[in-house]
Structure 1
Amino acid sequence: MTYLPSHPRVLLADPEKTLSPEIEFLSSVGLSRVDLARVLSFNPYLLSRSLENQIVPSYNFLRNMISQKNVVAVLKRKSWMFLENHSRNVMPNIEALRELGMPRACISLLLAHDTQVLMHNYDELVQLVNEVKGMRFDLKKSTFVVALRALCGKSSRAIWNRNREIYKRSWGWSDDDVISAFRKSPQCMILSEKKIMQTMDFLVNKMGWSASMIPTHPIILCFSLENRIIPKCSVVKVLMKKGLVDEKLSLTDVDLMGIGEEEKRKKDEAELQN
């Protein structure tokens, strides 16, 4: 088993009193056998924590805030949350966000998808929230949550700074363009360098749109180039050749969005209430 080298003491655990009850509980909340094996291989320390004093209280804490489906998602992606002292780390930050005006839906979104943000130092988190508010993000919208993730921690901040330089150096964006794009679609600042360069190259050099146009519609950078952008743009090219649309058609005139950002926010928040 892959977890033995990292946590060999699991072999000393009582299979009837410790291992079996914890495995049964984790299975009962919705983890499949395959998912359970993966979770325990990645985080064998779950098996050494008290079911009654740690695992179940952690589950109840999360379930009180987010849907059963999202609790399972946290278990699969961030099972270390079940090892934390929530009263010491997470709850003070949740209370701070509530006092600052963040609605329950956005806090739930953080718990379900960006849990690491809530593990940061209390003072650092408050400072980060104020920084994001200073960029004119709305605390009551899901884009605020994505912006927090994009700027939270040294590694995330390094990616944000790297992408800012890519947009400026390679595509001629100004600092105002970067902030404007970030406000409209914060996901565009957490993409890989390869994704940014390939998508910008296609839109600018293949489709002929101005690089300065992209910050007005930055959500397009987050879509799949192969599965969404290229197929739709291929249709646009055919229509242009046939003279059915203006060759100066702007990016904002092309239906590349599908579900708009506001509709997506409402869908995400509705799911969290389930």
Structure 2
Amino acid sequence: MASTLHYYLHLFGSLENLLRALKYGSLLSSDIEGVVKPNVAFLQECGLATCDIAKLCISWRYLLQTNPDRLREMVACAEGLGVPRGSPMFRHALRAVAFLSEEKLTTKLEHLKKMFRLSDAEVGIVISKAPAVLLKTKESLQRRSEFLMSEVGLEPTYIAYRPAMLMYSLEGRIRPRYYVVKFLKENGLLKCDPSYYTVFKESDMTFKKKFIHPHKEAAPHLEKDYDAACKGEVPTDFRFT
């Protein structure tokens, strides 16, 4: 037991992380020599650093207990989606395909293709850049598709090369920021049209600094309305006084 705890403590880097991993899992009763250590060694061969493996284990508590052959199948699946070993997105792809059968994965890819009117190549780009999109529900992606394409007017190719937008909260981030930009444009407060990808990806502080604070005098209620929209309390219209 002492040697097992020492191994896990080294793997997770801190007692706090180890306790988080042990909270819902059964690592201490796992076959450490026959399953855990071979899985860790294989993941390291795939280019994952110890800290990356620890992060995966905390969010996916059965990772190290997975049958080694099954783990190799998951890695092959992630690579087949266009996310190679060593890629920054590899661990995210591995996590995304962990609980998807081949049939479910195919269905998700088809839904993604139809919803956003993407070519096979563009679907591949989306997955290679944001594999966690596979964890989104069909309904969630449908709402994003309708808003980004129908209301914002973004083209499929634009979205395909910037799929991080599909990971942001629609109600708490994308929609409120779109309302702000739309309001500024309608009232002649923007000199040029901003990139919506830039609008959506900025931190909240940076977004306010760029698009709200410069207009405090012309639109004194804008920040209050934006904060309300982020909480789901969308005003009928942003006030302009």
* TM-score normalised according to structure 1 size: 0.63
Structure-1 separation of matches of 2:88 and 2:61: 14
- Of the three residues 246, 256, 270, the one matched with 2:201 is 256
Tell me by how many angstroms 1:75 deviates.
3.0
SS in 2 for 1:64: helix
**C-alpha distance 99-211 of structure 1, shift in aligned 2 (>3 A):** closer
**C-alpha distance 162-240 of structure 1, shift in aligned 2 (>3 A):** farther
Match of 1:172 in 2: 117
CA contact under 8 A between 2:52 and 2:91: conserved in structure 1? yes
Match of 1:139 in 2: 85
**C-alpha distance 134-192 of structure 1, shift in aligned 2 (>3 A):** closer
Structure-2 separation of matches of 1:159 and 1:72: 33
Structure-2 separation of matches of 1:112 and 1:235: 37
Structure-1 separation of matches of 2:169 and 2:65: 31
1:32-66 per-position Cα deviation (integer Å, ceiling 9, x unaligned) = xxxxxxxxxxxxxxxxxxxxx4xx66544332211
Is the aligned partner of 1:148 residue 2:94? yes
Match of 2:179 in 1: 234
**C-alpha distance 94-166 of structure 1, shift in aligned 2 (>3 A):** same
Is the aligned partner of 1:80 residue 2:26? yes
Is the aligned partner of 1:125 residue 2:76? no
* TM-score normalised according to structure 2 size: 0.71
1:202-230 per-position Cα deviation (integer Å, ceiling 9, x unaligned) = 11122122233211111111111121111
Q: Which amino acid aligns with 1:163?
A: K
Q: Work out which structure has the larger RCO, using CA pairs closer than 8 Å and 6 or more positions apart in sequence.
A: 1
Tell me by how many angstroms 1:182 deviates.
1.0
Instruction: Indicate the RMSD between aligned Cα atoms, in angstroms.
Output: 2.7
Bigger shift: 128-137 or 92-101? 128-137
Match of 2:228 in 1: none
Structure-2 separation of matches of 1:87 and 1:57: 12
Structure-2 separation of matches of 1:231 and 1:88: 51
Is the aligned partner of 1:201 residue 2:143? no
SS in 1 for 2:95: helix
- Of the three residues 2, 6, 11, the one matched with 1:65 is 11
CA contact under 8 A between 1:58 and 1:81: conserved in structure 2? no
Q: Which amino acid aligns with 2:154?
A: W
SS in 2 for 1:139: coil
User: Identical aligned pairs, as a percentage?
Assistant: 25
Q: Which amino acid aligns with 2:89?
A: T
Q: Name the one with the larger helix percent.
A: 1
Q: Which amino acid aligns with 2:111?
A: I
Match of 2:128 in 1: 183
CA contact under 8 A between 2:113 and 2:119: conserved in structure 1? yes
Alignment of 1:157-168 (within 5 A): 157-168=102-113
Q: Which runs of 4+ in 1 moved over 4 A?
A: 56-59
Structure-1 separation of matches of 2:8 and 2:18: 6
Match of 2:158 in 1: 213
**C-alpha distance 229-109 of structure 1, shift in aligned 2 (>3 A):** same
Tell me by how many angstroms 1:146 deviates.
1.1
> What are the ranges of 5 or more consecutive residues in structure 2 without an aligned counterpart?
205-241
Is the aligned partner of 1:114 residue 2:54? no
- Of the three residues 224, 238, 242, the one matched with 2:169 is 224
Tell me by how many angstroms 1:142 deviates.
4.7
**C-alpha distance 218-245 of structure 1, shift in aligned 2 (>3 A):** farther
**C-alpha distance 225-153 of structure 1, shift in aligned 2 (>3 A):** closer
